[in-house]
Amino acid sequence: MAASNFYLPDDCWESVFKFLNHDSDNDNSHRHLKSLSLVSKQFLSITNGLRFSLNVINPTRPYLHYLLTRFTNLTSLNLTCFRGDLDALLSLISFFRLNLTSLNISNQPAIPANGLRAFSLKITTLTSLTCSKIDSINSSDLFLIADCFPLLEELDLSNPRKSFVGRRSLRHGLETLSLALFKLRKVNLSGHNYINNQYLLHLFKNCKLLEEVILFDYTGLTSAGIASSLRERPTL
C-alpha cells in the first residue's frame, strides 16, 4: 500500500498532539512536543505551532532570535530566571510579531522601565503581568504600567523585597493604576503596606470588573475600611 494512503493533514495531527498533551503540565508538554518534532519535518512544523510558552534563562539568550522565529504562536513569556540586561532583552523581544498575553518578570532588581515601554509599543496584546518579588517598586513604576498596559486583566506586584519610599506618591500611582486598568479582574498587592482604607476604596470603586484581590501585610487597613470597600464590589 502506498505511503500516501497513510497521510494525515496537519490539522488532524494537531488535534492528536493536543489530545496527547491535554493533561500535561508545561514541562511535560514541552518534552512530548520535542520528541514528536524529531519524527519528521511535518511533525516539526506542527509542534512548532503548539508551543505557547517559553522560559528565557541566560543560556537561552544567544538562541532567542531562533526560538522566537520558530515558535510564532507563543502567548506566554517567563523571564524570572534571566540575569542580565532585561531592558535590552524586552526591547529585542518587541521586534518579533508575537501575540503575547502573559509576561512574568518576577525576581528582578527593579522594574525594567525602558524595556517595558519598548515592549508595549510593539506588543499590545498583553493581559497578564507578573512582577512579584521585585527588589524595589516606586510610584513611577505604577505610572508606567498604567500607561503601557491599559488592557491588563491580571496584575501581580506582590512582595517587593525592600521598604517603600514616598508613600504619598505611591498611593497616587495606585489610584492612577486603578483608573487606567478598566479591565482589571485580578490583582495581588501583598506587601504594599502603604495602602490605606481610602486607596483600597479607590481601587474597588474604579476597577469595576474586579473578581479577586490578594492583600497580605496590610498594616494600613482596618476591618471597617475593608468592609466599606467590599460594599463597593460585592462580587469579590
Note the pLDDT of residue 154. Answer: 99
pLDDT tens digit sequence for 198-218: 999 999 999 999 999 999 987
Q: What is the pLDDT of residue 211?
A: 94
Contact 90, 116 (CB under 8 A): yes
Q: Domains (ranges, CATH) in the chain?
A: 8-51 (no CATH), 52-232 (3.80.10.10)
Burial readout 34-45 (b: 16 or more C-beta within 10 A, e: otherwise): eebbeeeeebee
Q: Please give the Cα distance from 199 to 178 (Å, whole number).
A: 10
CA torsion sign, 117 to 118 to 122 to 123?
Answer: negative
Amino acid 25: pLDDT: 54
Query: Residue 38: is its pLDDT beyond 70?
Result: no
For 125-163, write each residue's pLDDT tens digit: 999 999 999 999 999 999 999 999 999 999 999 999 987
Half-sphere exposure of residue 119: CA atoms within 13 angstroms, side-chain side: 27
In which band, very low, low, confident or very high, does the pLDDT at 29 lie, cut at 50, 70 and 90? low
Provide CB contacts within 8 A for 224, sequence distance 6+. 197
| Range of weakest confidence among 20-24, 48-52, 76-80 | 20-24
| Torsion angles phi and psi, residue 49, rounded to 5 | -80, -10
Residue (of 7, 91, 13) closest to 49 by Cα position: 13
Mean pLDDT in residue range 60-77: 91
pTM reported for the whole predicted model: 0.83
156 and 131 in contact (C-beta within 8 Å)?
yes
Please state, rounded to an integer, the average pLDDT across all residues of the chain.
86
Q: Which residue has the cell 479591565?
A: 183
Amino acid of residue 86 = L
